[in-house]
Chains A and B, each alone.
Chain A
Amino acid sequence: MTAQTLAPTRAERSVLDALEAESIHIIREVLAEHEKPALLFSGGKDSVVVLHLLAKAVAPARVPIPVVHVDTGHNFGEVIAFRDAAVERYGLNLVVGSVQDYIDDGRLSERADGTRNLLQTRVLLDTIEAHGFDVLFGGARRDEDKARAKERILSLRDEFGGWDPRNQRPEVWNLYNGRHEPGWHVRAFPISNWTEADIWAYIEREEIQLPPIYFAHARQVFERDGMLRAVTPVSQPTEDEPVTIRRVRYRTVGDASCTGAVASEADTIEKVRAELALSTLTERGATRADDRISSAAMEDRKKEGYF
């Protein structure tokens, strides 16, 4: 026995305790029932929380699965550095699927609008196939989007990676069923029932490290489509878009070519939580140009095998 300190027991469990226990239950079921799981890890706060939960689910053992990152080549440098540090800290194997490689050798071509989010799907599916992963953990939450609100915790993908919303398995009690035909795979979303506010409350409680761009910092930005966009090699202002230096932070981390920042003074977790409590915009509406293409943008991408 290795007990040094005894944790207090709680007479009444909080929302975070209940969500955490549910997520760990799901993670253990999926790890136990699948041959070759992996975690989709972007360095974004949701995938960071899933990694933290994975580590708790198997403690004191090491996280027994690799992490997969589909790198668009347009990521924020701070996020890539964070990803690599997390891999080191948890002692993980990292599998990178590189959109840039696909563009360089002609398997994919750059879109006219320069965004690479839609190019990720092919790279993701090829990576899954090449490594023979039968289940991928992801950090998707149901409060993010209308299509995600209808997706099961264990979501089946056909051999083309497609999601069929009309043919989802019933998910009853806490009995999960990830069995599938050869060539299919499963996406497992253990934090389906968490909200953005829950995620931040948990990050604060567990003192989870995040990439620095989630907190207010000074950055060169310009305004486009009502969003603040960072000046980066892949996101350049036109002549009519004046560049200013503003205090900003990101609510989601994605492709730098289509992820917007919000003006913010919140440079600590407590301040971020206070800011969110007053926010009048949804996370994706505020900062993701890719989700604004149409109100069915996420639904269409999911059907094609997106995250």
Chain B
Amino acid sequence: MPHTLLRIATAGSVDDGKSTLVGRLLHDSKAILADSLDELTRTSTERGFGGEVPALDLALLTDGLRAEREQGITIDVAYRYFSTDTRSYILADCPGHVQYTRNTVTGASTADVAVVLVDARNGVLEQTRRHLGVLALLRVPQVVVAVNKMDLIDWDEQQFSAIVADIEALANQLGLARIHTIPLSALGGQNVVEPGAQSPWYEGPTLLGLLEAIEPSEHVQEHLPRLDVQYVIRPQGALAPGLDAEAYRDFRGYAGTLAGGTLNVGDNVSLLSNGRPAQSQIAGIHTVNGPAASAEAGEAIVLELADEIDIARGDTIVAGALPEPSKELSAEVCVLAERTLRSGDRVLIKHGTKVTQAKISGIEHVLDVLDYSTRPAESLQLNDLGRLSVRTASALAAEAYASSRTGGSFLLIDPVDGTTLAAGFVQDRHVAA
């Protein structure tokens, strides 16, 4: 097995013991080096953590900025790194209190696994529903619910089972297929990295054991080999030193990251060039290691095509049938800025590598995160999840988010100051007749 990368996002509030859990993961997986540990020990002692029995305040490991320490809050997503013999982990630690939706969306949009914290004494709260709702919308492939502070309910199996039942009911409602629940104590370290003797009735893995075993999977099934052109490479007159100018005299390559599937030299491709569909064939593939016969999902590549077609940044190349270009989208959105979105607002939309002008043509509804029902709305505010429709100036090769994360995601941007207003998930396209 090669060493693989797993991206995790943690969601929960300080009150759930999230910082302690992340600190425990880092500490027990030996990711903390001696000088950081010294600082931790010193600060824990200074603050009298543990009272009579001095202990390490593991939450300090994830304490970030001075403004946060002074106010005892977490402002922004923090990224942590640790590795085991089998995996390297990128952990996006998303605070729950301030800007919770913005933070969860930022941290979890690229995650393979999300870990949601629940305080065993409180069970499922509004915040848990909100977090699970956002994770379902993002289609994070795997969700782990860490039921923390089990020590404070004496590792009571019945109470844990009741929480599991609540979580499973929510998961069903949201269509979260792969959800795991683990009873643990971050403070004591039981079932985080090491199993705890206090829960003989629990036969599942520890949190780290589960993370080690989970298959890193694509967020959503990417059906089509799809390349959104980032950058056109024409080296004429500006060739890298040491290359033969004659060999690259007519070189014209389309650089981008391949989403989904495999592309081979010789494959027929469809493309959307400046809003118009066209056909061609792959004449050459250049990976980061040089010319290749094929490329796979996730690789940053450069394509050469057999035909001279006018292709620019923002155009899309796919193997197979091109998603029908459309100028009208219906989408779920998370509002990420302190602005109000209303019908008629003029915005920019960034979809793949294409940025085009757009207009919000209607607000359909807002989601109630308590019972996941929808109600009609005139506008959407910061942290709202809702549905709207957008009309775009240029046609987009959009796909439903359910079938392609790359083809189905977009940002709405304020055209004046550049603020990211919302993250969008395409539900449906209206194809012009």
CB of B80 closer than 8 Å to a CB of A: yes
CB of A293 closer than 8 Å to a CB of B: no
Contact indicator A21/B298 (Cβ below 8 Å)? yes
CB of A285 closer than 8 Å to a CB of B: yes
CB of B81 closer than 8 Å to a CB of A: yes
Identify the closest chain A residue to B234 (Cβ): A61
Identify the closest chain A residue to B63 (Cβ): A146
CB of B110 closer than 8 Å to a CB of A: yes
Identify the closest chain A residue to B61 (Cβ): A146
- Report chain A residues within 8 Å CB of B290: 5, 7
Contact indicator A2/B110 (Cβ below 8 Å)? no
Q: Which B85-118 residues have a C-beta within 8 angstroms of A?
A: 88, 90, 102-103, 105-106, 109-110
- The prevalent SS among residues of B at the interface is mixed
Docked Cα-Cα span, A175 to B255, in Å, equals: 16
Asked, given contacts A57-B255, A149-B64, whether A29 binds B353 with beta carbons under 8 Å apart, the answer is: yes
Contact indicator A60/B243 (Cβ below 8 Å)? yes
B261 to chain A minimum Cβ distance, whole angstroms, is 12
* Residue from the list B76, B291, B294 in contact with A9, Cβ < 8 A: B294
Contact indicator A175/B288 (Cβ below 8 Å)? no
CB of A241 closer than 8 Å to a CB of B: no
* Residue from the list A1, A21, A150, A174 in contact with B110, Cβ < 8 A: A174
* Residue from the list A17, A142, A175, A195 in contact with B410, Cβ < 8 A: A175
CB of B238 closer than 8 Å to a CB of A: yes
B117 to chain A minimum Cβ distance, whole angstroms, is 19
- Report chain A residues within 8 Å CB of B238: 61-62, 64
- Report chain B residues within 8 Å CB of A177: 350, 411, 413, 418, 420
Contact indicator A91/B240 (Cβ below 8 Å)? yes
Which stretch in A67-75, A165-173, A243-251, A255-263 binds the other chain? A165-173
Report the interface size for chain B: residues with CB under 8 A from the other chain: 81
* Residue from the list A2, A143, A197 in contact with B248, Cβ < 8 A: A2
Q: Which B209-263 residues have a C-beta within 8 angstroms of A?
A: 230-231, 233-235, 238-241, 243, 247-248, 251, 255-257
CB of A111 closer than 8 Å to a CB of B: no
Query: Interface size class for chain A?
Result: 35 or more
CB of A104 closer than 8 Å to a CB of B: no
Q: Which A49-106 residues have a C-beta within 8 angstroms of B?
A: 55-64, 89-91
Contact indicator A58/B106 (Cβ below 8 Å)? no
B405 to chain A minimum Cβ distance, whole angstroms, is 7
A264-297, CB under 8 A of B: which get 1 and which 0?
A: 0000000000000001111001100000000110
CB of A179 closer than 8 Å to a CB of B: yes
Contact indicator A32/B35 (Cβ below 8 Å)? no
Identify the closest chain B residue to A156 (Cβ): B418
Docked Cα-Cα span, A31 to B417, in Å, equals: 20
- Report chain B residues within 8 Å CB of A195: 81, 83, 88
Residues of chain A having any CB pair with chain B under 8 Å: 1-7, 9-10, 12-15, 17-21, 24-25, 28-29, 31-33, 55-64, 89-91, 142-143, 146-147, 149-150, 165-166, 168-175, 177-181, 192-193, 195, 197-198, 279-282, 285-286, 295-296, 299-300
Residues of chain B having any CB pair with chain A under 8 Å: 2-5, 33-36, 39, 63-67, 75-81, 83, 88, 90, 102-103, 105-106, 109-110, 230-231, 233-235, 238-241, 243, 247-248, 251, 255-257, 283-284, 286-296, 298-300, 302, 304, 313, 336, 348, 350, 353, 355, 405-406, 409-411, 413, 417-420, 423
Shortest 4 CB-CB contacts between residues of A and residues of B:
A179-B418, A3-B291, A280-B34, A61-B235
Known: A32-B313, A142-B79, A150-B78. 19 other contacts (CB 8 A): A2-B291, A9-B295, A9-B296, A13-B298, A13-B299, A28-B230, A29-B230, A29-B353, A58-B240, A59-B240, A60-B240, A61-B240, A147-B64, A149-B80, A165-B67, A169-B419, A170-B102, A178-B418, A286-B35
